[in-house]
């Protein structure tokens, strides 16, 4: 999962950033509204976490602008707790969390937004006989447990969520690495190769397909 946090409070940024990184999630940070809007418009994210009161542009205005072209799930953070404020916040955001909050509640809400946006009503993602459980970090094919590294797991999850769609190396980089990580296409090709050996090698039907000059697709078709 790749998250964009738009927040100017350094303590809150550090608190949220450390929590998500411990869980293995990718998280980018914007410190003001204009930067946050630019990043959200020009990069793929699974969930946005947006503070209401921000320098240069409010969280409400960011989400209003984004709704014109994108529909990324968004949770708005605020110290405002009146019912009128909640109604206004939920008019543009998908969820609303009042400060202060516990990290456990934040992550639960973010996971719920992610599942809802990807139509994952249960915790297990399935493509043919391949199953991935984001909670237990288990991957099985035809019931056989497959051991993956953390990065291989995230790559497989991304491919499975985008099943039957071609994803290129730029998309994979944007979703699985930090923005300032210098990762070239050869590194991603190596990850794909290792993943293919674990997922497809011992099975007649190959799920991971390469489209030369375009990218990769995971499909059971």
125-218 fold = Arc Repressor Mutant, subunit A (1.10.10)
pTM above 0.85, yes or no: no
Percent over 70 (pLDDT), the chain: 95
HSE of 165, CA atoms in CB hemisphere, 13 A: 10
Q: Which two tokens stand for residue 204?
A: 């007649």
Q: How many CB atoms lie within 10 A of CB 191?
A: 18
DSSP state of 36: H
Is residue 34 predicted with pLDDT exceeding 70?
Answer: yes
Per-residue pLDDT at 185: 74
- Region of 129 please: left (phi>0), alpha (psi -120 to 50) or beta: alpha
Q: Which two tokens stand for residue 60?
A: 């409400």
- pLDDT tens string 165-220: 999 988 888 888 766 566 777 888 999 999 999 999 989 999 999 998 899 999 98
- Top CATH class of 2-117 equals alpha beta
Burial of 211 (0-12, 13-18, 19+ CB in 10 A): exposed
What is the rounded average pLDDT of the residues 145-168? 92
Q: Which two tokens stand for residue 59?
A: 């969280």
Percent over 90 (pLDDT), the chain: 57
- pLDDT tens string 96-112: 999 999 999 999 999 88
Question: Where along the chain do its domains lie?
Answer: 2-117, 125-218
């Amino acid at each position: 999962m790749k998250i964009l946090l738009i927040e100017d409070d350094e303590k809150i940024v550090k608190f949220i950033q450390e929590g998500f990184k411990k869980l293995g999630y990718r998280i980018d940070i914007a410190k003001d509204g204009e930067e946050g809007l630019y990043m959200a418009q020009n990069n793929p994210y699974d969930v946005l976490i947006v503070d209401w009161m921000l320098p240069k542009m409010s969280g409400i205005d960011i989400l209003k602008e984004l709704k014109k072209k994108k529909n990324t799930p968004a949770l708005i953070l605020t110290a405002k707790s009146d019912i009128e404020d909640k109604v206004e916040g939920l008019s543009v955001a998908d969820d609303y969390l009042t400060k202060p909050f516990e990290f456990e509640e934040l992550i639960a809400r973010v996971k719920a937004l992610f599942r809802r946006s990807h139509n994952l009503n249960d915790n297990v993602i399935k493509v043919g006989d391949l199953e991935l459980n984001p909670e237990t970090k288990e991957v099985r094919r035809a019931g056989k447990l497959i051991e993956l590294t953390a990065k291989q797991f995230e790559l497989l999850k991304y491919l499975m969520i985008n099943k039957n769609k071609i994803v290129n190396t730029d998309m994979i980089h944007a979703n699985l690495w930090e923005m300032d990580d210098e990762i070239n296409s050869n590194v991603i090709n190596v990850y794909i190769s290792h993943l293919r050996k674990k997922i497809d090698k011992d099975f007649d039907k190959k799920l991971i397909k390469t489209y030369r000059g375009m990218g990769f697709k995971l499909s059971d078709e």
